A and B are shown apart, each in its own frame.
Chain A
């Protein structure tokens, strides 16, 4: 039926190249050298900032993570890989839990955030700015205050807890493993921590999705409707695929900080909700075991990196930047 674009394609590319030609040839005037150094000068401050505040501390953290000794006897620089195997074996449960919590929170944030972003982008009209402002508004108060407020909302004698109890919803939550067996309270359960994470990182999900939806030409939806698609098919075939980059960006912005978070588990969870962030924190502040805290940090970082790379591989890298 159709022939592959061979010869015509080649010719066209050649023409395109020829047309680009003159534009590529930058004039070689006397100020050329000065102009060429400008980009380097512009990235200079950024590079300096990153080297000073990211590369150097990271190197120092790496050195610390391999040290031997204790706080009382003093730490000595060494290459003690044991720190890493210890970190993995001692905190494996917490690491697993962190990833599960972060994943569930990311999915929940996407499930809540996508429809929210969709309504603002497609139905917001002149209230778009206001609605976006409302999404971000709670974040003008501190992270800690908001999480403490959740502690009050979820408290045992609070309205939410008693309502869930009265509606006999604890059985369902138990079935979903969101509360432990026989529990009649929300606080210090999985759902409290996951709920806190979802709430705290929701705007990081909503904003990128909003941006990608906002960019979509409305006539594409009309074109799909014109071509015999009902509203749902038009969404599934046109709007959803074109908003995937936003969902991907939002998922990363939610998942990465959620996996390393310790505040939500600390304030809303109990001993059964310990996340890797809590382990790092206790190694550092309570046990004053800096090498253990540092190696655990590296393990977390490496696992998140692997996760992100797999995710990018799965959905295509161009979607990440797209």
Chain B
């Protein structure tokens, strides 16, 4: 994974993973995780269940020891240091609040274990209760709180210790959509307010995109890409990332011309398109690739040819779905592939009907070329993947 931070400014990395491997018997849960998390950063580990994201988090927390490699906290190797001696705190899935203690005692648990003086504990707990806006609930027991309130107690219980980093394991997973969205904003506000590094595990791509400074996308124990949300969305490095984050049209093709930065690709869906070829990919004529185009970058092409450089795919309208803010159009090409476009609602519905002939086009710079050697052997090449998940 490209990570220029590794060599330089060491002091600003709160967490460093160096070639970390975790095996459970013959099963490799995490394979060669090698990245660093900066101070004050909101860093997400994103991937489907079983991808190794929670195991990675548990190794940072100290609940699991790496089978190989090192975990560094504030520049110190903590690979074999037990959790209670690491200055990171975890917000657990389902919160894991102590049911036999009040909100106050739950939050004061960490400072009391660390033998912080009583007056200092009272001050800190009061302060953090204000930050999470639970001031009046200090005497309640966790069972008397709603899910969202329990979530905030869990957050306060971790933050009150002023950890070097806060580790969050799908903290919003148990909540309904509305509350989850409200708490996403709340979490982001708290993170800005306290300025603590957040390491956030989630399988929800939207959550990761809206909240993170950087995202590490994981799949089957491997880190597929680490980048900003915008970069992950615009320039997915692998087919898995392209398919997992946002909706994507994944069109198979073959390089027919490659020179320097550009080239042409013959799509199996029909036309040959011009595209930017990253020199680092070292593609040459004859290589099989996948061209990824986000549906929201595709628009209807007029009857005229227009810009000769722009790709153009013609077909028959298969489905039209009105999603509110957008209109989804799927067209089936002569070769049988489906290409999906998310059109603005300024497109009059009357212009399109299922069965009509239509053509789609997009700006050539919006084609992302992913070489097939980076393909995920299992997920194959679908014409469209994850279209529903925008």
Contacts and interface: CB of A to CB of B under 8 A. Distances in A.
Report whether chain A binds chain B: yes
B120 interface: no
B92 interface: yes
B126 A1 contact: yes
A43 interface: no
A241 B129 CA distance: 25
Contact of B98 (A3, A9, A220, A233): A220
A226 interface: yes
A226 B100 contact: no
B94 interface: yes
A51 interface: no
B119 to A, nearest CB: 11
A2 to B, nearest CB: 4
B129 A226 contact: no
A226 to B, nearest CB: 5
A228 B121 CA distance: 14
Contacts of A237: 98, 109
Nearest to A13: B144
Contacts of A228: 84-85, 110, 113-114, 161
Given A2-B126, A222-B63, A222-B83, A227 B157 contact: yes
Interface residues on A, range: 20 to 34
B167 to A, nearest CB: 8
B36 to A, nearest CB: 22
A47 B110 CA distance: 51
B106 to A, nearest CB: 9
B179 interface: no
Contacts of A229: 84, 109, 113
Contact of B110 (A217, A227, A230): A227
Interface string A1-15: 111111011000000
Contact of A222 (B96, B100, B138, B161): B96
Interface residues of B, number: 36
B94 A219 contact: yes
B109 A1 contact: no
A16 to B, nearest CB: 10
B90 interface: yes
Would you call the interface of chain A mostly helix, strand, loop, or mixed? helix
A153 interface: no
Contacts of A217: 96
A242 B82 CA distance: 24
Interface in B61-81: 61-63
Nearest to A227: B110
Contacts of B82: 225, 230
B136 A5 contact: yes
A267 interface: no
Contacts of B140: 5
B306 interface: no
Given A233-B113, A237-B109, A226 B138 contact: no
Given A2-B129, A220-B98, A242-B99, A226 B61 contact: yes
A224 interface: yes
Nearest to A219: B96
A230 B84 contact: yes
Given A220-B96, A229-B113, A9 B136 contact: yes
Interface string B8-35: 0000000000000000000000000000
21 contacts: A1-B125, A1-B126, A2-B138, A2-B139, A3-B135, A5-B137, A6-B136, A222-B90, A223-B97, A223-B98, A224-B109, A225-B62, A226-B62, A226-B83, A226-B90, A227-B110, A228-B85, A230-B84, A237-B98, A242-B99, A242-B100
